[in-house]
Amino acid sequence: MKIEKGTKFLIVGLGVIGGGYAKALTKAGYTVDAFTKKASDVLYAKEHGICRKVTTIVDKKMVEEADMIIFALYPHTFIDWVKEYGHLIQPKTLVTDVTGVKTEVIEKVNALLPRGVEFIAAHPMAGRESSGIEYSDDEVFHGANYIITPTIKNSTEAICACRDLGKILGFAKISILSPAEHDRMVAYLSQLTHVIAVVLMNAENIEGLEKYTGDSFRDLTRIAKINDAMWSELFLMNREALLSEMDDFLSVMEKFRALLVAGDREGMRAMMRVGTARRSLFDKPKKGEAKTPAAK
């Protein structure tokens, strides 16, 4: 399929990401239907005009009508949904997702989907520390990164349609990685950072600490406000990659610790200069700055 003027989207899951996708696609003029578990989401979606039809029960006709189905669920809920309702999906419908781990999810979903239904996986590198549709915001995608993780089973047509979806949603950089590369990258860039934030918040319990803090601590722990159900699931599904990143981090920390113990000022400064130089690559493009139009 190719995304065109009349393309019909079905979003399964109206959380903070699914809700943001619905807002962006409706604003861009597409027809967007959605399934959600919570009745209050239906009200919210209707009040804010972000979907055409929204239901809490899986409507066969809505599934059949969709040209592209976007799953915005927790990994195990996504797999369970496909197990129960996957047979309703029509051949030619393109399936994509927003799931934060790829290898295991892609394998399981592909095994469950009916013949002729193509699943092209993708991961929007944008989110919020709060969950729920009321926190959804399509602006978070602007300037953010979008990763498509095709396998050998995917057609170039599906990859291009997925890239077009990323563009419509407003992502600045759209990249392609294998599921395994993605899971390693995400272990470092996203899962390890969440582990650090949680560990840092657990490392001290002094009352009134917030009276003394500066912004560096606030920034490092923003994501310690964490959706524990979702992230524990993501960590366990990507356990080997995450453990490997944690071990790299721990060993570099031990190295820095040894420099401090030894009073090795120059050794510490050398590591700080590496940090400064590498970090400068990571600044977010300002609004209106050049977007990278194509996948790598």
Contacting a second copy within 79-108 (CB under 8 A): none
Of 14-22, 33-41, 42-50, 190-198, the segment contacting a second copy by CB under 8 A is 190-198
Binding test (CB under 8 A) with a second copy, winner from 43, 111, 180, 199: 199
Residue 259 phi, psi (nearest 5):
-65, -40
Of 3-11, 59-67, 86-94, 264-272, the segment contacting a second copy by CB under 8 A is 264-272
- The distance of closest approach from Cβ of residue 45 to a second copy in the complex, given in angstroms and rounded to an integer, is 25
Q: Report if residue 289 touches a second copy, rule: CB under 8 A.
A: no
Range 216-255, binding a second copy (CB under 8 A): 216-226, 228-229, 231-233, 235-236, 239, 242-243, 245-246, 248-250, 252-254
Of 39-47, 68-76, 84-92, 268-276, the segment contacting a second copy by CB under 8 A is 268-276
- The distance of closest approach from Cβ of residue 105 to a second copy in the complex, given in angstroms and rounded to an integer, is 17
Q: Which is nearer to a second copy, 91 or 214 (CB)?
A: 214
DSSP per-residue string spanning the chain: ----TTPEEEEE--SHHHHHHHHHHHHTT-EEEEE-S-HHHHHHHHHTT--S-EESS--HHHHHH-SEEEE-S-HHHHHHHHHHHGGGSPTT-EEEE--S--HHHHHHHHHHSPTT-EE--EEEE---SS-SGGG--GGGGTT-EEEE---TT--HHHHHHHHHHHHHHT-SEEEE--HHHHHHHHIIIIIHHHHHHHHHHHS---TTGGGT--HHHHHHHGGGS--HHHHHHHHHHTHHHHHHHHHHHHHHHHHHHHHHHTT-HHHHHHHHHHHHHHHGGGPPPPTTSPP--S--
Q: Report if residue 171 touches a second copy, rule: CB under 8 A.
A: no
Q: Which is nearer to a second copy, 63 or 122 (CB)?
A: 122
Binding test (CB under 8 A) with a second copy, winner from 118, 173, 287, 289: 173
Binding test (CB under 8 A) with a second copy, winner from 268, 288, 289, 290: 268
Of 8-16, 56-64, 88-96, 279-287, the segment contacting a second copy by CB under 8 A is 279-287
Binding test (CB under 8 A) with a second copy, winner from 91, 210, 290, 294: 210
